Structure formats: C-alpha cells, structure tokens
Amino acid sequence: MTSNINFRGDLLQKAANKNIADNNIQNNTTPQPKVEQLPQDKPDEFVSSKTSEQKNNSMLYKILGGLAVIGTVIGSILYLRKGKPQKNLKPETEQTMRLLEGKKNSNESQKISATAEELLKRFSAKNYEEVLKEINDVPELKNALTNVSVKTNIPREELVEKFNKGDYETISSVLQETSKALYPFLRTGTKNADKNWDIMIDYAGKLNTVIKNETQLETINNFRALAIAQKIRFSKNNKAVAEAYHELLQKELKNILYKNNPPKSEQIIKDLADNLSFNSKANSLFTDEHKEIIYNALKELKESKKNLYSKDDLTELDALFYDVRERLNIRTFEDVYEDMKRRFSQSFAEESTTSSGKGSSGAGASYFSKDEAIATLNRYSEVKIDSNSSSDEIKKIYRKIIIKYHPDRAPQDKVQEYTTICQKVTEAYDNLKA
C-alpha cells in the first residue's frame, strides 16, 4: 500500500517538473525554481490545508488588529476618566475605593484647616500699633496718601495723623487708593503684593480698636471681606491656600452678619463666600461700592437661589438682606432719585426761572440742553459719558455722584455746596433720562 502511494507521488512530481520545463522553453523564459515537492502522503489534502492556513492567518491578523483598536479606545476612556469612581466593581472593591477616596478628602481637609488656623493665628498675633507700622512701610500707601491729599486738598501730614488715629473717611479713602495701586501686582502673583494684601487685610481687621461707630466699622469689614475674596481668586493654583482663605472669609461673613452668633444657615454663608470669590468685583475695592458689597451679594443670591433654597433658607436670606440694608441705611437707586427730585427739583426749577427768565412748567422741568446736562454730570464724575451713552451708564454715573455729594453725608461746612451739586445733577439726569 505504501509503495503505491510513493509511486503516485513520483509520477505527480515528474509531471509537474516536465510542465514547468515545457512552459519555459515555449515562453523563452528563465527556468523557475523547482516546485516545492508535495508530501508523499495525502498530496491532495496539502493544497487545501495550505489555503486554510492562509485564511486562518488573515483572520488572526484581523482579530489582533481589532483587539488593538479596542484596547486603544478602552485605554483612552480610562485615561479621560482617571480619578473618577469606576462602575461595575465588586462590592468589596467599591468599598475599598470609597475608603481611599474618603481618606484622601480627609487629608486635604485637614491640610486646609491647618492652613486656615495658621492664617488666623498670624492675623491675630499683632496689635493695632504693630500692624499700623507694617502698613506704613508699604510703598503704595505713601503714594495713596499723596493721592488722597491732592483730591481732598488736605495736607499730607494732617492725613497721616488722621489715618493713624483711625479717622474713618481718611482710612476708607487711603485703603481704596492703596488697593488700586496693589491690585495689578496681585493679579500677576507678585510675592511682595501678596504680603502687602495680607497686611491690609490684617489692618482692616484691627480697626475695631480705633473705629467705634458700628456702621463705619461694618463698611470697613465689607472692604476686608472683599479683599480676602480677591486673595482667593488669585490663589487658585494653590488649592490649600485658596480654601484656607475661603474658610477665613466665611468666618468674616458670620461675624458681619451674625455678630459671632451661630448662623442659622451655613449654606447661605458658603454661597455668599463663593459669590464674592468667584465673581470679579475688584472695582468695588477702589470705590465706595465696597460699603454695599455684601448687601449686593445677598441681593444676587435672592435672585439666583430663589428656586433652589428651602423655604427656611429663603426666609433667613430675606432677614439678612433687610438687616444689612437697615443697618447701613442702604437705599435703592429709585429711593435716592425720588428723594432728590422731591427735595431739589422744585427749588432748582424756581432758581433757574428767576435767573434765566425762562418759563416753568413746574417741578421736573428741564432748563439744560442735552449737551449741558452731559457736561454737568461729567463735571462731577471721574467716568465720563457722551451723547451715545446708554441709560444704564447715565443712571450709574448719576447714582455715584449723588452718593458722593449727598448733603446728609456732607461735612458741616459743605452742606450748601453739596446741596447745589445734587440740585444740578438731578436736573441734568432728568433731562437725559427722558
């Protein structure tokens, strides 16, 4: 049986070789390599097995390629989801991951609290005289005193004395001017500016030893809270420091709103700190607007959280809002404008009629042209308007002028001067708002 198979294999081989030789001669081609000798046993199966092997190899490559693509996709997803809890884990694995995450958060919280405690100790370590000496060494303060001296026409030496003794108006003006000078350096992360801001925050916190008027002291504390909030904004690269100042800000807000009594809603305090820290309100540091910064933040919370807070939280928020408004005697723009019209428009209309000979149609009639009205507002405002200014821009300028020159806030020797200014700007605003 074996000899028959071998014989058949020899015949097949010889036939194959003869066909190749004949083809070469006929086509005048170079002899091709000898065809691979077929196995002596089961030659027909060899051809089919060779084809099958090629198919298997092709399929294997496709499978491996597909797995590689799938692996890449899975790897990318895992990379993007790095740090997030994994799903579909075994219960014991999930529990382990939760414990590890909890430990991590606990460590971070301890680090933040430790930094906050360090800040609090540093801010309470010195008395007023020591902090005053530090703030007097800040170069920007010297420039600020000079600027305030020029604006108020008060000799610099007199201003320094008022500042050191705790005169509220002088301190408020100087802190605003100093903030304006330091703020660009805070934005760029200058180390010296960072230190100077801490000195200013510390100084504002010590003024309760020299400022006894509760309303004045609260407005200074508003300034301090806003200054801390700006520190938070520019400490985002150092999470522990930012969170520590955030904790400090929350303590400051509790003190302002609750006078060291336990707060009824910790959530309101946290949201209020977030509102001050993550919304850019830096310009309020440079103007009298800082006096109403917490009031305005409470007002924003009332609008943004009215559908999110519980009934109790909304009631508490309303109570805080109206408490601050009452304590600081804050009035809305509409309140101020109506008061100005009631007090000044009629008398100013009569004065204008007498002096110019123009007829009057009663209170609120305008004796300015539009250009004269614009010039009048620009005379008393650092920010200028023109004929293209929007009604909101004009309203904002008018409000600032009225707040600055309100007769009720005027020094005794300037009441008449401030009254005249308010008469003029109210008449000008009446003309422009129409």
Tell me the C-alpha distance between 336 and 321, whole Å: 18
Among 134, 137, 105, 106, smallest CA distance to 122 is for 134
Residue 65 pLDDT class (50, 70, 90 cuts) = low
| Same domain, residue pair 341 and 413 | yes
Ramachandran bin of 153, using left for φ above 0, alpha for ψ from -120 to 50, beta for the remaining angles: left
Token code pair at residue 400: 């600032």
Q: Which residues contact 380 (CB under 8 A, 6 or more apart)?
A: 401, 404, 405, 421, 425
Q: Which residues contact 256 (CB under 8 A, 6 or more apart)?
A: 218, 221, 222, 225, 294
| Same domain, residue pair 288 and 163 | yes
Domains of the chain: total: 3
Instruction: Write the DSSP assignment of 264-306 as a string of letters.
Output: S-HHHHHHHHHHHHHS--GGGGGSGGGGGHHHHHHHHHHHHST
**Environment class of residue 330 by beta-carbon count within 10 Å: exposed (0-12), middle (13-18) or buried (19+)?**
middle
Express each pLDDT in 292-334 by its tens digit: 899 989 988 988 888 889 999 999 999 999 899 888 887 776 7
> Are the beta carbons of 281 and 293 closer than 8 angstroms?
yes
| Same domain, residue pair 292 and 337 | no
* Residue 6 reports pLDDT greater than 50: no
What percent of the chain shows pLDDT beyond 70? Answer: 68
* Residue 252 reports pLDDT greater than 60: yes
Residue 43 pLDDT class (50, 70, 90 cuts) = very low
| Same domain, residue pair 165 and 264 | yes
Determine, yes or no, domain membership for 86. Answer: no
Three-state SS annotation for 136-148: HCCHHHHHHHHHH
| Same domain, residue pair 337 and 292 | no
> Are the beta carbons of 312 and 265 closer than 8 angstroms?
yes
Which of 276, 296, 316 is the endpoint of a domain?
Answer: 296
Determine, yes or no, domain membership for 61. Answer: no
Determine, yes or no, domain membership for 99. Answer: no
The boundaries of the domain holding residue 349 are 333-433
Residue 69 pLDDT class (50, 70, 90 cuts) = low
Express each pLDDT in 253-303 by its tens digit: 999 999 878 888 999 999 999 999 887 788 888 888 888 899 989 988 988
Determine, yes or no, domain membership for 210. Answer: yes
> Are the beta carbons of 233 and 280 closer than 8 angstroms?
yes
Determine, yes or no, domain membership for 90. Answer: no
The total of other beta-carbon atoms located within 10 Å of residue 59's CB is 10
Express each pLDDT in 355-375 by its tens digit: 444 433 334 445 678 889 899
| Same domain, residue pair 289 and 165 | yes
* Residue 52 reports pLDDT greater than 70: no
pLDDT at 346 (0 to 100): 55
* Residue 135 reports pLDDT greater than 50: yes
Determine, yes or no, domain membership for 109. Answer: no
Express each pLDDT in 397-424 by its tens digit: 888 888 888 887 788 888 889 988 988 8
Which of 268, 296, 324 is the endpoint of a domain?
Answer: 296
pLDDT at 273 (0 to 100): 92
| Same domain, residue pair 150 and 284 | yes
| Same domain, residue pair 267 and 220 | yes
| Same domain, residue pair 281 and 181 | yes
* Residue 201 reports pLDDT greater than 60: yes
Determine, yes or no, domain membership for 110. Answer: no
pTM across the whole model: 0.57
22 residue type, one letter: D
Token code pair at residue 79: 């990379």
Q: Which residues of 163-182 are buried (b: 16+ CB within 10 A; e: fewer)?
A: beebbbebbbbbbbbbbbbb
Beta strands in 347-422 (DSSP E): none
Among 212, 197, 158, smallest CA distance to 282 is for 197
| Same domain, residue pair 169 and 217 | yes
Among 362, 351, 332, smallest CA distance to 423 is for 351
Q: What is the mean pLDDT of the chain?
A: 75
| Same domain, residue pair 2 and 144 | no
Determine, yes or no, domain membership for 56. Answer: no
pLDDT at 223 (0 to 100): 92
| Same domain, residue pair 154 and 201 | yes
Name residue, tokens 């807070």.
309
